[in-house]
């Protein structure tokens, strides 16, 4: 679950774009809105507007196509099998007891008695003098304004002009001894000693199933899609012809009552996951782990995230989740978001979950004997091990948005969204140059042909420059203009978003040309 910024390679140059600019464009152009905005919103929940919905759908479709539908050649040079599943969000609560989520899916939480704010203890740091008895100031790691407030507080309290680098140090909040915590001023507080002791807070949303308010009728909204796959493992084996090694993939909503949702959609309370549980013989864990890790890393590049903004980070032993302790490894594929730069934030985790989940459900459900898989090829009975590449669809969409945002003062829009054509919400804009001489009719005919396969827009309003600017902000890779030569020579002018260069094409050639230039989602 770690998404702490890490930097084990030299950070490339920080791009000149801010989250404020990206969030403003998302709202203005209908990529992402605050959920329930007219009622003041609700913290940790986000809606996708028309453009954002297409973008996220393109990401999920590309993942599904590349993971489940297309041929994928594994580490042994053979095509591998991955089949799909679509499970419920609410499951029998016993699932979450067996998986360890009821007992252990929690984050340490600290409350402020003065401001009623709540913080993740492991996200708080404390700045102050090293000597015992000194007054200390807490702020959320990475929050520059919080850090500035802490420095101001120290200088005012100690009557100094600046910090003393030898005495004033930053420490993680959990490492500050309990008796010194009474001297801490909370991030939003004015008084000392108002932060409570950290206590564990379970992240699962509880919900009542049925009409009767009985403790036995409560269940949870799933915090990961993975468990639906594990409890259906035998059903899939029995109903299909898959054999180990094979994978089960699922895309769906997950819910976590995050203590401090933040950074736009990055840490939300409702989000979507794209998860693969890949079942293997235990002896092959290292091979499959490395293969999935590397393939997933290159996949993100194939849909437009540049390698300069991506890194693979192998987990330290003490970071490993409960199910991965004895495994071949766990790594995060991380993206350098504007709010983590020069560090990185987690986009996807690839973990060797061992046989933890299948074994736990076999024991808890009492189906131990049946659950052990009999491998005919090996003539062996065993619990398969699992390699799990688990990606966030919302974090992936956010990374695509951050990557695409390209300031360009020379354009009327001042910015364009440089999406990989396969991800672009709108593939082409079709514009009659003027609203007469038969141009709108030719444009509409082309529009109707192209929309059979692609999301395209027909726009006959305003100047051609304004229409280009709208499409630049939407990230549309191609604009196709019907001009006077469309009438005489049956050609159109195609304008390329990134270079702004134009080329002539025969009208009849446009559908095949667009298919070829959009890549593999047709």
Binds ligand GAP by CB under 6 A, chosen from 56, 395, 427, 497:
395
Minimum distance between the CB of residue 390 and ligand GAP, rounded to whole angstroms? 4
Smallest gap, in angstroms, from Cβ of residue 278 to ligand GAP?
13
Q: How far is the CB of 169 from ligand GAP (least distance, A)?
A: 30
Beta bridge partners of 73: 79
Of 254, 327, 316, the residue nearest 284 (C-alpha): 327
Q: How far apart are CA 279 and CA 81, in angstroms?
A: 10
Mode of pairing for the β-strands spanning 206-208 and 218-220: antiparallel
Which range touches ligand GAP (CB under 6 A), out of 245-253, 266-274, 289-297, 505-513?
Answer: 266-274
Q: How far is the CB of 284 from ligand GAP (least distance, A)?
A: 21
CB of 242 to ligand GAP, least distance (A): 20
Give least dist CB 388 to ligand GAP, A: 6
State which of residues 186, 304, 392, 440 lies at the interface with ligand GAP (CB under 6 A).
Answer: 392
Please give the structure tokens belonging to residue 175. Answer: 């490492």
Q: Which residue has the tokens 């995050």?
A: 258
Of positions 54, 81, 275, 357, contacts ligand GAP by CB under 6 A: 275
In order of 110, 138, 346, the CA distances from 121 in angstroms are 6, 10, 19
Phi and psi for 67 in degrees, rounded to 5?
-90, -45
Asked if residue 466 lies in contact with residue 412, where contact means CB atoms within 8 angstroms, the answer is yes
Q: Nearer to ligand GAP by C-beta: 45 or 458?
A: 45
268 interacts with ligand GAP by CB under 6 A: yes
x/- contact string, 483-522, with ligand GAP (CB under 6 A)? ----------------------------------------
- CA distance linking residue 49 with residue 68, whole number of Å: 27
Q: Which stretch binds ligand GAP (CB under 6 A): 192-200, 239-247, 391-399, 510-518?
A: 391-399
* Residue 319, both tokens: 């970071």
Specify the DSSP class assigned to residue 16: S
Q: Which phi-psi region, left, alpha or beta, contains residue 100 (left: φ > 0; alpha: ψ -120 to 50)?
A: left
Q: Give the nearest residue (CB) to ligand GAP.
A: 392
Q: List phi, psi (to 5°) of 243.
A: -135, 150
Please say whether the dihedral angle defined by the alpha carbons of residues 185, 189, 191 and 196, taken in this order, is positive or negative: negative
Q: How far is the CB of 4 from ligand GAP (least distance, A)?
A: 12
Residue of the chain from 258, 403, 472, 483 that contacts ligand GAP (CB under 6 A): 258
Segment contacting ligand GAP by CB under 6 A, of 123-131, 173-181, 267-275, 419-427: 267-275
Q: How many residues bind ligand GAP (CB under 6 A)?
A: 20
Contact pick of 391, 417, 424, 482 for ligand GAP (by CB under 6 A): 391
Candidate ranges 67-75, 148-156, 269-277, 356-364; the one touching ligand GAP (CB under 6 A) = 269-277
Letters for 331-350 (x = contact with ligand GAP by CB under 6 A, - = none) are ---------------xxxx-
Alpha-carbon distance 464 to 358, whole Å? 59
Q: Which CB, 331 or 413, lies closer to ligand GAP?
A: 331
Residue 267 within binding range of ligand GAP, rule CB under 6 A? yes
Rounded-to-integer distance, Cα 465 and Cα 471, Å: 10
Give one DSSP letter per residue of 209-223, joined into a string.
-SS---GGGEEEB-S
Per-residue three-class SS string for 263-296: CCCCECCEEEEEEEEEEECHHHHHHHHHHHHHHH
| Contacts with ligand GAP, residue ranges (CB under 6 A) | 1, 224, 226, 256, 258, 267-268, 271, 273, 275, 346-349, 388, 390-392, 394-395
């Amino acid at each position: 679950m770690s998404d702490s910024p890490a930097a084990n390679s030299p950070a490339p140059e920080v791009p000149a774009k801010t989250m404020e600019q990206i969030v403003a464009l998302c709202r203005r152009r209908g990529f992402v809105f605050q959920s329930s905005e007219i009622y003041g919103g609700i913290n940790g929940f986000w809606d996708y507007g028309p453009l954002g919905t297409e973008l996220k759908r393109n990401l999920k479709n590309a993942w599904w196509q590349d993971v489940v539908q297309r041929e994928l050649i594994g580490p042994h040079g053979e095509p591998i099998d991955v089949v799909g599943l679509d499970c419920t969000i609410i499951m029998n609560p016993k699932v979450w007891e067996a998986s360890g989520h009821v007992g252990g899916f929690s984050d340490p939480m600290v409350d402020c008695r003065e401001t009623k704010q709540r913080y993740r203890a492991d996200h708080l740091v404390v700045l102050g003098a090293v000597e015992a008895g000194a007054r200390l100031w807490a702020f959320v790691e990475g929050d520059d304004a919080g850090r500035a407030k802490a420095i101001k507080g120290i200088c005012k309290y100690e009557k100094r002009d600046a910090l003393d680098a030898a005495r004033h140090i930053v420490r993680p909040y959990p490492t500050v001894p309990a008796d010194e915590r009474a001297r801490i001023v909370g991030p939003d507080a004015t008084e000392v000693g108002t932060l409570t002791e950290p206590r564990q807070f379970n992240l699962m949303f509880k919900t009542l199933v049925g009409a009767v308010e009985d403790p036995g009728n409560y269940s949870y909204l799933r915090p990961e899609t993975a468990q639906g796959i594990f409890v259906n493992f035998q059903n899939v084996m029995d109903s299909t012809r898959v054999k180990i090694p094979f994978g089960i993939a699922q895309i769906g909503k997950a819910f976590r009552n995050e203590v401090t949702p933040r950074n736009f959609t990055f840490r939300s309370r409702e989000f979507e996951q794209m998860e693969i549980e890949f079942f293997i013989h235990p002896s092959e864990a290292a091979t499959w782990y490395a293969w999935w890790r590397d393939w997933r890393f290159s996949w993100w590049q194939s849909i437009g995230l540049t390698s300069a903004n991506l890194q693979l980070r192998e987990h330290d032993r003490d970071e490993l989740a409960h199910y991965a302790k004895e495994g071949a490894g766990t790594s995060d594929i991380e993206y350098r978001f504007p709010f983590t730069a020069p560090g990185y934030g987690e986009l996807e985790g690839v973990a060797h979950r061992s046989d933890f989940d299948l074994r736990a459900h076999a024991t808890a459900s009492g189906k131990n004997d049946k659950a052990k898989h009999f491998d005919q090829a090996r003539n062996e009975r065993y619990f398969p091990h699992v390699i799990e590449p688990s990606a966030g669809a919302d974090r992936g969409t956010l990374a695509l948005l951050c990557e695409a945002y390209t300031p360009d003062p020379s354009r009327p829009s001042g910015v364009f969204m440089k999406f990989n054509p396969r991800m672009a919400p709108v593939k082409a804009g079709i514009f009659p140059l003027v609203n007469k001489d038969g141009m709108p009719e030719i444009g509409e005919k082309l529009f109707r042909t192209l929309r059979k396969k692609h999301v395209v827009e027909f726009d006959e309003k305003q100047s051609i420059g304004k229409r280009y600017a709208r499409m630049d902000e939407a990230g549309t890779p191609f604009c196709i203009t019907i001009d006077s030569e469309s009438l005489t020579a049956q050609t159109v002018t195609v304008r390329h978003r990134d270079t702004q260069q134009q080329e002539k094409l025969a009208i009849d050639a446009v559908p095949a040309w667009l298919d070829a230039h959009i890549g593999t989602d047709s």
